[in-house]
Amino acid sequence: ICECIGALAFYTATMSHLLPPDFVVRVQQDSFLGNPLLEALATEPPTAIRRNPWKQPADLPVDRPIPWSENGFFLSERPLYTLDPLFHAGSYYPQEAGSQLLDAVLKKLPLPAEPVILDLCAAPGGKSTLIASFLNNKGLLVSNEVIQSRAKILKENLTKWGATNTIVTNNDPADFARVSDTFDCIVVDAPCSGEGMFRKDHAARNEWSQNNVDLCAARQRRILMDVWESLNPGGFLVYSTCTFNTRENEENVAWFARETDAEIVRLSLPFAKPDRHETGWYALPNELDTEGFYLSVLRKPEGNVAKRKPAKNPKLQLIKDRSFTEPFITVNDLSLIQWQDYVFAVPEKFEEPAFHLHQQLRVIKLGTELGEIARKGLIPHEALALNPFIRSSNLPTIELSREQALSFLHGDTFPLEGAHGFQLMTYQNEPLGWIKHLGNRFNNLYPKEWRIRMDVK
């Protein structure tokens, strides 16, 4: 017994240097967490990914499935994703296992057959790509990020994932008051103090303070209140953080339920740990081999949905003659929308919401961008190459070796046989992007901002 006590004292002293002292004391005094959490935070974090169900599976060092995520897997080691062409093709997404609890939650909610879902704090795109897979190209997903540079990354990741029914916005949460009674479900993965990231992100430890916890809790309340009006009556709000404290989790959920008369939804999640008041669930690294993650679900009271006039957006025009797109797309149940010289495809059923959202918010991705209208026809966009739902199966393609694929993704040109015109570059039969073949050479059309920057030779 004395040896155990001595070891614990030594461990606690060691952790006090690695973790914020106030955090260590708080966890030790919390019977819900305690020393098992501190011990787990001293270990190596697991590596997890989520596969894209619509694309070729990559050859990854899979260890075991993640039980609560249909397409999630733990890996035995962390690969160098940058040098895997299928990573750039959107075949999988590296996502922490705990945050993949969202998959289990969405499947338990009684949502409409084709719901409209908002991912409010969405960058870099882990939860948005998960929601896109859940929707399976049905319904509508609006993914928002307030920071412009991160919104561009979000747009890239959703484009690579390949669904037609996604819109990306770059707005402050308060802006969503302009689109009241719009969403059937809102996911708010709120900015937090980051305690759940302590194991893999040591910088998060240096940024932590109790004052920052309080600031985060106040900001989270503002975000929730800002976006509440945009949720349909009877709709669901999924609130999550990557932290362990009650201030940002249970207390915020209880406060918000009181302020809005929202119902706290109690679901059965066998793998997660019910929180201190059984109002939500935790993924704890000492219990689930995850990072820290908290999640709760609230339901808005039933009521009447506000009526709005059909959106008129002078910036957008519907295209009736779609003959110029026929070599590239084969799907008919799409609305083709023109903005300046660019053409976008959105699900026909969600044409009106798309117009309305584009009118009220700063939209940086509208469905799938098909390309630019030029004098000789359509110049295809990268998004069309990466979308398996609308891309024609009869397009001319060139299958690349791994070395060639990495060179293409690097932005290089190299000797390559092929017919004149636009050619779809593929790796293991999975599209990567376009070239324009000129006979003795080709123009590499892979987006400059997406190109691999490290040496691939």
The dihedral sign for the CA sequence 337, 340, 341, 342: negative
Residue type, 9: A
Catalytic residue among 121, 185, 216, 242: 242
Count each helix (H run) and each strand (E run) in the chain, helices first.
14, 23
Taking a C-beta distance cutoff of 8 angstroms, is the pair 254, 268 a contact?
Answer: no
Neighbours of 398 (CB within 10 A): 17
Residue 118: which residues within 8 A CB-CB, separation 6 or more? Answer: 141, 142, 143, 144, 176, 182, 183, 185, 186, 187, 227, 230
Residue 198 dihedral angles phi and psi, to the nearest 5°:
-60, -30
The residue behind tokens 């059909």 is 310
Tell me how far apart the terminal alpha carbons of the chain are, to the nearest angstrom. Answer: 58
Neighbours of 379 (CB within 10 A): 16
Q: Is 4 a catalytic residue?
A: no
Distance CA 216, CA 219 (A): 5
Neighbours of 421 (CB within 10 A): 12
Q: Quote the Cα angle for 228-232-236, to 5°.
A: 70
Distance CA 114, CA 141 (A): 10
The residue behind tokens 């990231």 is 197
Concatenate the DSSP letters of all residues of 190-216 into one string: -----GGGTTT-HHHHHH--HHHHHHH
Residue 259 dihedral angles phi and psi, to the nearest 5°:
-70, -30
The residue behind tokens 């390949």 is 162
How large is the angle between the packed helices 126-135 and 148-161, nearest 10 degrees? 30
Q: What are the residue numbers of the active site?
A: 242
